[in-house]
Amino acid sequence: MIDENENIEAKEAGDAIEDGCAEEEITESADALKEKQKEIKNLEEAIRKKDEEHGALYDKYLRVTAEYDNFRKRTAKEKEGIYSDAAIDVLKNILPVLDNVERAVQFFDVSEPEKVFEGFKIIHSQFLGALEKIGVEEIKSEGEKFNPEVHNAVMHEENEDQPENTVTDVMAKGYIKGDKIIRPAMVKVVN
């Protein structure tokens, strides 16, 4: 019986050890589970913060996009206004010349050619004044050295009295405003 008692005691001792190990394993598992739950909470909090940050950035993006679109529309409208204003300024200077041309046509009298000629000289002078007011200047050409940036050679001639590449005749005057060429002068050049 002692053997039996010893067996029972040994079995109970083994069971107690197993129970202790199992209890220890359960405690470790519970601790690991709590750690994982804590990690999940931290990750959920990080995701929530990132969602808020994303929302704020997306809102900012939409506002900047709308602001840029408004800027683009506003500058296009301003550009159109500037062009319109410039055209009006030019026309204000040219319309009086047109008025004088119409008057000359209305009162044209072939019996007095000197008066007609004088009238056209006045109109010519007025037109040049209108161009000057808007900053348009004639390109000086005759007797000048040929410059392909401001001259368009439409004819060439041999002339030993003139240096080579000299403009000898202007078929159509050229005009410039500031540094922009409105129309190059059409010229005859010595070869």
Same structural domain, 112 and 126: yes
What's the pLDDT at 44? Answer: 95
Same structural domain, 141 and 126: no
What's the pLDDT at 11? Answer: 58
Question: How many domains, in total, are found in the chain?
Answer: 2
Note the pTM of the prediction, 2 decimals: 0.55
Same structural domain, 89 and 116: yes
Would you say 150 and 173 are in contact if contact means Cβ atoms under 8 Å apart?
no
Q: Name the residue range of residue 71's domain.
A: 2-134
Would you say 122 and 104 are in contact if contact means Cβ atoms under 8 Å apart?
no
Please give the angle made by the CA atoms of 143, 144 and 147, to the nearest 5 degrees: 145
Same structural domain, 37 and 118: yes
Same structural domain, 92 and 183: no
Same structural domain, 120 and 155: no
Beta-sheet strands, E only, within the chain: 136-138, 151-157, 167-172, 175-177, 180-183, 185-190
Same structural domain, 61 and 6: yes
Residues (pLDDT < 50) of the chain are: none
Note the pLDDT tens digit of each residue in 4-59: 666 566 555 555 555 555 677 778 888 888 999 999 999 999 999 999 999 999 99
